[in-house]
Structure 1
Amino acid sequence: MRRWFAKSLKRKLSLLILFAVVLPLLSMGTVSYKIATSVTEDKAKQAGMNTLKQMTDKLDFVIQDVENMSIFLIGQKDIQTYLDNKEGDVNSYSQIVGTLWNLSYSKKYIANITITPTNGNPVLFTTTVTNSGLQPLLVQYESVYKSATKWWSPLYELQTSDGAKKVISLVRPIRDVSTYKTLGTLTVSLDQAEIGSYLTDAGWESSGFVMLRDQYDRIISGGDTRWLAQKVTEVFPNLGKLVETSGVLNVQWKEQPHTVLYNQIPRLGWTLIGFIPTEIYQKQNGYVLTVTAITIVIALLLAMGLVLYFLQWVTKPLTKLTKYLKDLNPEETIPTYEVKSVDEVGLLVHSYNKLSERISRLKDQVQLNEAMKKEADILALQAQINPHFLYNTLSSIHWIALMNKDRQIADMVGALSDFLRFSLNKGEEFCTVQQEISHAQNYAYIQAIRFPEQFDIEFFIAPAMIQSTMLKLLLQPLIENSLIHGIQKKKAKGHIYVHGELRDNQMKFVVEDTGIGMEEAKLRDIQAQLTLANHQLGLRNEAVKDAKIVVTSYGLINVHRRLLLHYGLGSGLVVDSTPGVGTTITFTIPLEKGELAL
């Protein structure tokens, strides 16, 4: 993967830009999600706390109303008289009961009002009480009850003529306004069911609940009816103590996280406690997460599309230029690339075109200079080398190698000696076919020692043409061309086949190899060079009159020119090649009989 990215500027830029776009988008999405979830949770908690405060205000109003009504009753003249008079007055009894009934009738939350005289007179009821659980509570909380001017009881059951009800009662003593003598007890009972309706009708979360806790940590109302009168710490052991007047807690209940909001009623020390399952936030957070994810994905897709389009637009000229340079054959003309922009990339391509033109001119000049230099060197070598001294020296090396039993060196030196003897044979231009074949075999033998196991060569020459005369040094350059440009560029072992046959008083020679072959463009280029050679010798047709072709295959062109000069147009080289298969070079010359002693 690392190498795959390293090989392409486009991939590296794509990865870099995508990282530069993706990371900020993901960071922004993460921060937005966290902010949204935090705001959602805060709003839910704030809404819950506002609901609790509304319930608190309503319950505080009820409590204050009951306490104000109790103050009115304990100071009411008729009640004072009735409680102070030891002889009960039926008219006064009926009048007081009517007053109590009128007060309680308009207030649904009042379940009963009871006045209990200490002088033995009949107890006053708004509703006849058949059984009450208040007396055991008075005994249980006697110290608290007697030391206070008013006392709110825990939840208990009150049975009246209207049925059984669970109530909370305000109990306070009735004293003589003059002597402060205790005349009786006033009990105002609140209907727990009516108090519970305040909690359920307040619009709390449907999956949560609100409960009312009294000053003794017992549940007065709300939640499951089985919890009534139980201690909060028994039902919710993880809740702990609520020391503040209001606040927010996170607790586990029934193996699920809950948010707990609480607000205290200062007048009594009662506390409203609301439970909200955390999954409510999670559902809302899930919606926020979905919207955020979809937004980020859409943004990423748009960003990726724009990035890829931008990179394609910027790097397309560079990619094409890279392909040109990658597939460039040093032996071929360097192509130019069309410039379509004037930015930095356009300037780079323009510089490449100028450089390619300059390289082509320098290449032509170097090749021409090298050809001229080689020609001069050969002429100088032929003029300076004493053939007899060279042959005698090689012969000495040959005998020394034989004496040292190094057969391969001896054979190689012998082949080189024969090769040079043939090449420097006093300027003679013609030889027999047998001598040309021997010269080619000596060259192949030397190259086989230099490049072992790289190629095999076979000669198939018709016996009838062995002593025929031909222009010398024709086959060796063709074999060299097959070896260098075909076989050595191939990983596997290659083969070279040299054929010679007679056809209608003509000798046809074929040099065939199994090398890499030539691409169609290169083959056309070589064929054009051969045609240009015809033109230069005055033997071409008018279609190539003004052709300008850079010569890249000097060995082949040289052989082609020599054939044309000595044998005419019909004897030139014919080149055919298939990529991956090999190359075949053919020429035909007239049959000439004769022997040459060299």
Structure 2
Amino acid sequence: MRQYIRKSLQVKLTVMMLLATTIPLILLGAFSFFTSARISEEKTKQTGMDAISRIQTNVRFITKDIEEMSIFLTGDKDVQQYMSDFDYDSPERERILTLTTNLIQSKAYISNISIYSKNKTTPLHTQNIYSSNLSKVIEDWNISGKKWTTLYLAHSMNGPEYTFSFLRAVKSTNNFEPLGFICISVNVQELSGYFDKPNFGVGGGDLLLLDTQGVVISGNKKDWLSRQWDALFPGSEQAEWKKKQDTFTYGGEDNKQTVLYQHIPDLNWTLVGLVPYELYTEEYRYIWLLTGSAVSLAALLTFGLNLFFIRHVTKPLKVLRRLLVRIDPNEPIPLYQFESPDEVGQLVGSYNQLGEHIKKLKERLIKMESRKKEADIRALQSQINPHFLYNTLSSVHWIALISNEHRIAEMVGALSDFLRFSLNKGNDYCSVGQEILHVKNYAVIQSIRFPNTFDLEFDIDHRIEDLPMLKLLLQPLVENAMIHGMQKVKRRGTIYVSAVKEDRGIRFSVLDDGVGMPQPVLDKLIADIQQSMDQQPSVPFGSYGLRNVNERLLLHYGPSAELAIESQEDQGTRISFIIPVKENRHENYDRR
């Protein structure tokens, strides 16, 4: 995988861009999550404080209303008269019960109003109270002023109920002598209705009302009533709550929760809110899901856009790489049509310019090599004085005739025609008839050198004798058949030369019935002849003529004119080629 990343620019850019975008997105997502979680927690705390403040307002309203009611009762003349008399069934008793009953019915948070008089042994209760633990929470019955009791248990017609009361001393309006006190009991069940739904912003949670001693006097959990805060939550001392309001975290991982508290002025009570961390977890999970979805979506969009743009940028580079890897040295460099003003477009433009420049250099080099070969040939031809050579051979020819040396005269005449055709005034092309005549002159010379060795037969289509062809193609093939085919047999052989016109062009064939070649030798000969023209020839000297003919055919006529060699051991060899038909014999037929 690492090696693949190193080799691929697209993968490198993709990985780099992915890391460059994903890591900041993850960091941003984590920062957003923790920031949102912290803000959500602070918001929950603030919402909880607001809820506690609203409940505190209700509690203060109730307590103030009870205190004002007690003031009203202490000044009532019937109450004053009732508490001053010793008679329990005084006429004021019914009027007081009627008054207090109306007050209780109009105030749902009041459960009972009791009048304790020093002049009477039995208190006056609005509701039937069978027994009460008030005496256990009042240390001194000689009450002066006012006070709130802690929670205690009272038995009435409704059964046992927890309650707490407000006590106010009653003095005579005449002589200010203490007459006793009024006890207004709070309906704890009705009061707890204010604590049922604290609405801390995340739903759920608990709300408690603690008195001056840290005892739970109201709340949304009945089983906590009359229990000490320090016993319910060990390690969280109420005495350490110095501020008017504050928050802190209580508990470990299993029961961790946020504690919010507010002190109620004048009463020295404390409202406490409890927010379990499970509620935060639910909200954290929502924030995490929202943040994770946003980060994932942003990462996918970023990755998709990066991949699209990277592919768009690297596509021309990949095409350039493919073109450069597949370049054939023998073929022109393929151009790539891509227009863009950026660096990639400039690179493609430079590549195209380089291809055009290399193409021009190759064409120039081919022309220079061709001109060099032509110059070498012309230089070689110029070193031979054709007229001097022809005149000399003509003189030898006539001397041989005068001396009756007809074979010498025939050989010299054939040699003169052979050389005249080979030079051909520097022309590369001749007619088919001239090429056949050249082969015949060569055969005359060789038949005198090697008498009774071979016969040469021709099968020439007379319609093609005037058509042009590249010169000196057949003579090397006949020479190869004569030297390698005929001289190695102990019998007189025959060489057949044919030229026929076909649909593809003119087919020339040289066939001998000599020794032939075994298949391995034939395969090696064909492979050596087909070697690239740029390579140093490794064929034997005797087969160099075949390679030269093959190269000239390829240079002038193309791959379709390549030599075809067929041979069987002890049966002979056939060499053939096809050239296109050219009507104009003066046309330049070199391939460009």
Q: How would you bin the TM-score normalised by the shorter chain?
A: 0.5 to 0.7
- Structure-to-structure mapping, 1:234-313, within 5 angstroms: 234-241=231-238, 242-252=241-251, 255-313=254-312
Deviation at 1:274, TM superposition (A): 1.7
What percent identity do the matched residue pairs reach? 30
| Amino acid in the other structure paired with 2:522 | V
Q: Is the 8 A contact 1:157 1:165 kept in 2?
A: yes
Which residue is 2:156 aligned to?
160
Q: Does 1:562 pair with 2:551? A: no
Deviation at 1:267, TM superposition (A): 2.6
TM-score by length of 2: 0.63
Q: Is the 8 A contact 1:510 1:586 kept in 2?
A: no
Which residue is 2:477 aligned to?
none
Which residue is 1:218 aligned to?
215
Which residue is 1:198 aligned to?
194
Deviation at 1:512, TM superposition (A): 4.8
Q: Is the 8 A contact 2:339 2:345 kept in 1?
A: yes
Map Cα deviations across residues 157-195 of structure 1 (whole Å, 9 max, x no partner). Answer: 112344322110112221223543221121111121111
Q: Distance in 1 between matches of 2:84 and 2:95?
A: 16
Q: Is the 8 A contact 2:83 2:119 kept in 1?
A: yes
Q: Distance in 2 between matches of 1:280 and 1:271?
A: 23
Q: Distance in 2 between matches of 1:512 and 1:296?
A: 70
Deviation at 1:554, TM superposition (A): 5.8
Q: Secondary structure at the match of 2:262?
A: strand
Deviation at 1:41, TM superposition (A): 2.5
Q: Distance in 2 between matches of 1:567 and 1:113?
A: 135
Q: Distance in 2 between matches of 1:51 and 1:563?
A: 111
| Amino acid in the other structure paired with 1:20 | A
Which residue is 1:52 aligned to?
52
Q: Secondary structure at the match of 1:359?
A: helix
Which residue is 2:224 aligned to?
227
**Structure 2 counterpart of 1:181, from 177, 184, 189:** 177
Deviation at 1:304, TM superposition (A): 2.0
Q: Does 1:42 pair with 2:25? A: no
Which residue is 1:123 aligned to?
123
Q: Is the 8 A contact 1:264 1:272 kept in 2?
A: yes
- Structure-to-structure mapping, 1:384-423, within 5 angstroms: none
| Amino acid in the other structure paired with 1:292 | T
Deviation at 1:327, TM superposition (A): 3.3
Deviation at 1:213, TM superposition (A): 1.0
Q: Secondary structure at the match of 1:172?
A: strand
Q: Distance in 1 between matches of 2:213 and 2:227?
A: 10
Deviation at 1:360, TM superposition (A): 4.7
Deviation at 1:65, TM superposition (A): 0.6
Which residue is 2:351 aligned to?
352
Which residue is 2:67 aligned to?
67
Q: Is the 8 A contact 2:82 2:90 kept in 1?
A: no
Quickly say closer, same or farther: Cα 1:162–1:339, change in 2 above 3 A: closer
TM-score by length of 1: 0.62
Q: Secondary structure at the match of 2:27?
A: helix
Which residue is 2:414 aligned to?
none
Q: Secondary structure at the match of 1:215?
A: coil
Q: Is the 8 A contact 2:196 2:220 kept in 1?
A: no
| Amino acid in the other structure paired with 1:283 | E
| Amino acid in the other structure paired with 1:184 | G
Quickly say closer, same or farther: Cα 1:552–1:309, change in 2 above 3 A: farther
Q: Distance in 1 between matches of 2:265 and 2:137?
A: 23
Q: Secondary structure at the match of 1:96?
A: helix
Map Cα deviations across residues 63-99 of structure 1 (whole Å, 9 max, x no partner). Answer: 0011111112222222223322345562122222222
Q: Is the 8 A contact 2:143 2:181 kept in 1?
A: no
Uncovered stretches (5+) of structure 1, i.e. residues with no partner: 377-463, 470-501, 516-525, 531-550, 577-584, 592-598
Which residue is 1:474 aligned to?
none
Q: Is the 8 A contact 2:317 2:344 kept in 1?
A: yes
Q: Distance in 2 between matches of 1:22 and 1:179?
A: 87
Q: Is the 8 A contact 2:143 2:168 kept in 1?
A: no
Aligned length, in residue pairs:
429
Q: Distance in 1 between matches of 2:173 and 2:211?
A: 31
| Amino acid in the other structure paired with 2:149 | S
Map Cα deviations across residues 322-378 of structure 1 (whole Å, 9 max, x no partner). Answer: 1222233556544333344444322212222222343355467779989989x99xx
Deviation at 1:114, TM superposition (A): 1.1
Deviation at 1:511, TM superposition (A): 4.9
Q: Secondary structure at the match of 1:563?
A: helix
Which residue is 2:391 aligned to?
none
Deviation at 1:220, TM superposition (A): 0.8
Map Cα deviations across residues 489-531 of structure 1 (whole Å, 9 max, x no partner). Answer: xxxxxxxxxxxxx983264443559x9xxxxxxxxxx97x98x
Q: Is the 8 A contact 2:215 2:229 kept in 1?
A: yes
Deviation at 1:571, TM superposition (A): 13
Which residue is 2:322 aligned to?
323
Q: Distance in 1 between matches of 2:551 and 2:99?
A: 149
Q: Is the 8 A contact 1:217 1:231 kept in 2?
A: yes
Over the aligned positions, Cα root-mean-square deviation in angstroms equals 4.3
Q: Is the 8 A contact 2:257 2:274 kept in 1?
A: yes
Q: Secondary structure at the match of 2:183?
A: strand
Uncovered stretches (5+) of structure 2, i.e. residues with no partner: 377-483, 490-510, 574-592
Q: Distance in 2 between matches of 1:210 and 1:568?
A: 107
Quickly say closer, same or farther: Cα 1:113–1:586, change in 2 above 3 A: same
Deviation at 1:230, TM superposition (A): 1.2
Q: Distance in 2 between matches of 1:254 and 1:303?
A: 38
Quickly say closer, same or farther: Cα 1:342–1:163, change in 2 above 3 A: closer
- Structure-to-structure mapping, 1:483-522, within 5 angstroms: 504-505=513-514, 507-508=516-517, 509-512=521-524
Q: Secondary structure at the match of 1:256?
A: coil
Which residue is 2:503 aligned to?
none
Q: Is the 8 A contact 1:506 1:588 kept in 2?
A: no
Which residue is 1:101 aligned to?
101
| Amino acid in the other structure paired with 1:251 | Y
Which residue is 1:487 aligned to?
none
Which residue is 1:150 aligned to?
146
| Amino acid in the other structure paired with 1:309 | F
Which residue is 1:10 aligned to?
10
Quickly say closer, same or farther: Cα 1:162–1:298, change in 2 above 3 A: closer
Q: Is the 8 A contact 2:168 2:181 kept in 1?
A: yes
Q: Secondary structure at the match of 1:180?
A: coil
Q: Is the 8 A contact 1:127 1:162 kept in 2?
A: no
Q: Secondary structure at the match of 2:91?
A: helix
Which residue is 1:388 aligned to?
none
| Amino acid in the other structure paired with 2:281 | Q
- Structure-to-structure mapping, 1:568-583, within 5 angstroms: none
Q: Distance in 2 between matches of 1:2 and 1:566?
A: 55
Deviation at 1:318, TM superposition (A): 1.2
Q: Is the 8 A contact 2:192 2:220 kept in 1?
A: no
| Amino acid in the other structure paired with 2:152 | Y
| Amino acid in the other structure paired with 1:221 | S
Q: Secondary structure at the match of 1:119?
A: coil
Q: Secondary structure at the match of 2:107?
A: coil
Quickly say closer, same or farther: Cα 1:236–1:503, change in 2 above 3 A: farther
| Amino acid in the other structure paired with 2:208 | M
Q: Is the 8 A contact 2:48 2:198 kept in 1?
A: no
Quickly say closer, same or farther: Cα 1:552–1:264, change in 2 above 3 A: farther
Q: Distance in 1 between matches of 2:263 and 2:551?
A: 123
Quickly say closer, same or farther: Cα 1:552–1:108, change in 2 above 3 A: same
Larger CA deviation: 270-279 vs 252-261: 252-261
Quickly say closer, same or farther: Cα 1:134–1:586, change in 2 above 3 A: same
Which residue is 2:478 aligned to?
none
